[in-house]
Copies of this chain bind each other. A is one copy, B any other.
Amino acid sequence: MENKKKPLILVTNDDGITAKGIRTLISIARELGDVVVVAPDSPQSAMGHAITINDTLYVKEFLQHDYDHKEYTTSGTPVDCVKMASHEILDRKPDLCISGINHGSNSAINVIYSGTMSAAMEAGIEGIPAIGFSLCDYDHDADFSQSRDYVKQIIEQVLEKGMARGVIFNVNIPKATKEEIKGVKICRQANAYWVEEFDKRTNPYGKDYYWLTGKFVNDDKGEDTDEWALDNNYISIVPTQYDLTAHHYIGELNTWDFGK
């Protein structure tokens, strides 16, 4: 980077501040700029774009001894963390927000349930270039080192080139060794989905309850999708937007009859 002033990088996630994924991302971010971490004090997976409006929020400095940057936890969701960072903790707007590295895939429709991506989205809404990173490995001790160079390169590109307003990167990394990873592909979100399977049980007091489980189904055979890229050991980047309008359908709807 030609810019002499170091960029301010906000790091967050949804697995909580002690997760291995965020520790990896912090160590990469520290090579590229001034780092502030604001992350949930406990795991917040599958929180989607939830925000805390019916409860109070607490913020605490998180003491860590390996580094010299500041870290904070909040009692809220990933989106709350970004809001708290922007409006209470930081004294200037960050140049970049990175979220993750998530323990588990956020490809295809998973983007919509993902706390990792919602945090990045929230930063995007606030005009901060933002990237969500996820590794397709749910293990809490997953090996994040294999894709380290790519993650760094993606962040560097965004710091150098900026990001179009309204766009956020959804980056997914295959579970593969450094040698197996073939490179980066720009993709569209695959049209894949979950088929739910509720695991019904009875508690010791005779009351039925359920665990949500499911099977991921991909009927989308396109070779331009994130699922295809990941299946073929590419890192996928889907440029993702929060304008949810189905612009292509507006013309059709204007022919419908909604009364006067």
Contacts and interface: CB of A to CB of B under 8 A. Distances in A.
Contacts of A200: 88
Interface stretch (A3-11, A24-32, A92-100, A250-258): A250-258
A143 interface: no
A186 interface: yes
Interface in A188-223: 188-189, 191, 193, 196-198, 200, 203, 207-212
A142 interface: no
A178 to B, nearest CB: 12
Contacts of A242: 109, 112, 244
Interface string A156-178: 01000100101100100000000
A53 B45 contact: yes
A212 B52 contact: yes
A83 interface: yes
Interface string A100-112: 0000000001011
A50 interface: yes
Contacts of A246: 164, 166-167, 239-241
A212 B252 contact: no
7 contacts: A49-B113, A88-B210, A112-B121, A154-B258, A188-B245, A235-B258, A241-B245
Contact of A240 (B52, B150, B245, B254): B245
A136 interface: no
A48 B49 contact: yes
A91 interface: no
Given A58-B209, A164-B252, 6 more contacts: A48-B50, A57-B212, A238-B245, A239-B249, A239-B253, A241-B244
B210 A59 contact: yes
B259 A150 contact: yes
Contact of A109 (B50, B56, B125): B125
A48 B45 contact: no
B258 A56 contact: no
A123 interface: no
B212 A51 contact: yes
A84 B210 contact: yes
A256 B249 CA distance: 31
A126 interface: yes
A256 B156 CA distance: 11
A260 interface: yes
